[in-house]
Each structure stands twice: as structure tokens, then as C-alpha cells.
Amino acid sequence: MSRRLDTLFREKSSQLLSFIRKRIGNPGDAEDLLQDLFTRAAENLDALSPVENLGAWIWAAARNRIIDYYRSKQTWLKRESSVVPGTLEGENDLMDDRSPGVEDALLREEMIDALYESLDELPPEQREVFLLQAVDGRTFAEISELTGVSINTLTARKRYALRFLRRRLADLKVFFDEMEH
């Protein structure tokens, strides 16, 4: 693994694992998916070298792998329902790619993708406190102990991060609000 990818793995693997686990629910599958993500990145590093922001790329790749994970589950469910007698009536309708559930999931994934792209635009100290508090679920006291930064400074950093994210994602929110009506 290259030094750049190795550094990214050390810095982001726990956040990525948490992100993946929350979306697929199965801890074992989440760990497999994370390992596969970094293995593929290492194998294709030559093709990735022009990538300027490897962090943004890895978040987008994780999102795409989650979508692939669900697509493979849908394919498996479709196959099982056609082979096993006594499946639920209308089950195939649920697996239809045009069904609202799939569309809603893809819209949510777009929102998540936009959020992580916006997170990569934050100053590192704001991004760190936001992710440690909002994603990892750590308290400000824990973050203060971990980083050596005062709780007041940490709360200010999170406030600035939230203000930036709200502004950055406001247009997307309007889009999603309109989609509901």
C-alpha cells in the first residue's frame, strides 16, 4: 500500500467503518466491505494517482460499494423469490428498480455523498470535531481529552462546521423537500 493510501487508511478507516456499518447494519459485512475498498484502491493505485483529493475519492468509493452491496442483495432476493415457492405476494414489486424504496435510497445516498464532499471542504480541525462528535458519538469532554483542545473551542468549531454545512447543503435540502411534494 502506498504511503498516501496507508495514511488515509490510518486516519479514516474507523470513520469509514462507522459510516458503512450504519448503512448496512451487519458489522461483519461492513468490515469486509471496508477491507475490499482499500484492497481495490491499493491494487488500482496507479490509476488513482491523478486523484487530487484521495479522501473525497474514498468516501465516494465507499458510498458506491454500499450501493453495490444493496444491489447484490436485491439480485439475490429476486433470484430466491423466483425459486422458492410461497414467497410474499408482491415481493418482486419491492425489488423493482423503479420502486419508491430504491429511488428514496438513491436520493439519500446522493445527500450523503454531498455531505461527505462538503465535509472534505471543511478546515481539518472543524471536520475532526464534527466527525468525532456526530459520527463516532464522542462527547466534547472525550474529544477534549483526546485532542487537548478546550471544550469551548471544540463547540465553536462544531458550530462553524454546522453553519458551513447548512449553507452548503441548503440548495440540496430545497431539492429534496420539493421531491417529497
Q: Is residue 61 part of a domain?
A: yes
Our count of domains for the chain comes to 2
Which H helix or E strand runs over 132? none
Residues 160, 163, 15, 5, Cα dihedral to 10°: -80
Q: Is residue 115 part of a domain?
A: no
- E-assigned strand segments in the chain: none
Nearest C-alpha neighbor of 94 from the set 121, 124, 73, 65: 73
pTM of the model: 0.44
Structural domain containing residue 47: 1-98
Q: Are the beta carbons of 133 and 158 closer than 8 angstroms?
A: yes
Strand, coil or helix: 87: coil
- With 0-12 / 13-18 / 19 or more C-beta atoms within 10 angstroms meaning exposed / middle / buried, residue 66 is buried
How far is 69 from 67, CA to CA, in rounded Å? Answer: 5
Strand, coil or helix: 93: helix
Q: What is the pLDDT along the chain (181 residues), one digit of tens a residue?
A: 578 778 878 888 888 888 888 888 788 889 999 998 888 888 776 665 566 677 777 887 888 788 777 777 654 444 444 444 444 444 444 444 444 566 667 677 777 777 778 888 889 899 889 888 887 788 999 999 988 999 999 999 999 999 998 888 876 666 556 555 4
Domain of residue 60, CATH code:
1.10.1740.10
